Structure 1
Amino acid sequence: MAETPLPTEITLHKQSKCLSLSYGDKNYRLPAEYLRVHSPSAEVRGHGPGQEVLQTHKENVGLEKIEPVGHYALKLFFDDGHDSGLFTWDYLYELAIHQDSLWQDYLNRLQKAGYQRQN
């Protein structure tokens, strides 16, 4: 199995509410809302399969700060007070390379739940 690449550059954009990750010549902009609704925390994922909690009302969430955790993860501090998920390098890379499909899946789940995004 190939090793997950580490980001060569990480930039927090508070104004545009996103996190930029660079992997060599590949650049990804991950919106705070996308990161928040895909947080690896128990609040979002539950404590086991089938216990996931659909996150709503996160359209305007921002990122306050980011902190490295050892050599394996980032802790993201969202302006809605959420800060309990550790985003490992593996997970951040998965979120980056699968952003389009994961985002569409989230939008589909919102629609199925009858939630209208506000923006």
Structure 2
Amino acid sequence: MAGLTAQSPLPTDIVVHQQSHALEVAFSDGQRFRIPFELMRVYSPSAEVQGHGPGQEVLQTGKREVDLLALDPVGNYAVQPRFSDGHDSGIFSWDYLYFLGSQQDELWQKYEARLQQAGIDRDTPMSSAGGSACGHH
């Protein structure tokens, strides 16, 4: 994802909804999104999930019940979530959160297609779905 530009909408409000497992983000352009923790987790921008290049993405599974333990600010441009499964290396820029929120339907479809292609259920534990491609975890 590209970095922030002068036209990038900035968050005006961020609310963690533990009960519904969603991050609600309101932006300066009037858009408001509820991004499920699971979607954030399976599309984490970290190397652990994205790999180190095209085609190296690691399919994430078993994340339906993942919780958000903390949401730490990173400068004035991003947040770093700490998830209940121990994942904490993804830095989510405002642009990336906007992308996740605005493209949720398409992203869910891509995720479901990748699961189907791999012959894996979304609730399959990660250990049986394969390990990390880069050995960080």
TM-score w.r.t. structure 2 length? 0.81
Number of residue-to-residue matches in the alignment: 118
Identity %: 56
2:107 match: 102
2:27 pairs with one of 23, 28, 32 = 23
Deviation at 1:2, TM superposition (A): 6.5
Flag structure 1 segments of 5+ consecutive residues without an equivalent: none
SS of alignment partner, residue 8 of structure 1:
strand
Is the Cα contact below 8 Å between 2:61 and 2:121 reproduced in 1?
no
2:17 match: 13
Q: How does 1:1-119 map to 2 (within 5 A)?
A: 3-24=7-28, 25-118=30-123
Deviation at 1:26, TM superposition (A): 2.3
Q: Which has the higher contact order (CA 8 A, sep 6+)?
A: 2
Is the Cα contact below 8 Å between 2:15 and 2:25 reproduced in 1?
yes
Return the letter of the residue paired with 2:93: T
Is the Cα contact below 8 Å between 1:14 and 1:64 reproduced in 2?
no
Runs of 4+ in 1 over 6 A off after TM superposition: none
1:62-100 superposed Cα distances (whole Å, 9 cap, x missing partner): 111101100111001100010001001111111111111
Q: CA RMSD for the aligned pairs?
A: 1.4
* Structure-1 separation of matches of 2:69 and 2:52: 26
Flag structure 2 segments of 5+ consecutive residues without an equivalent: 124-137
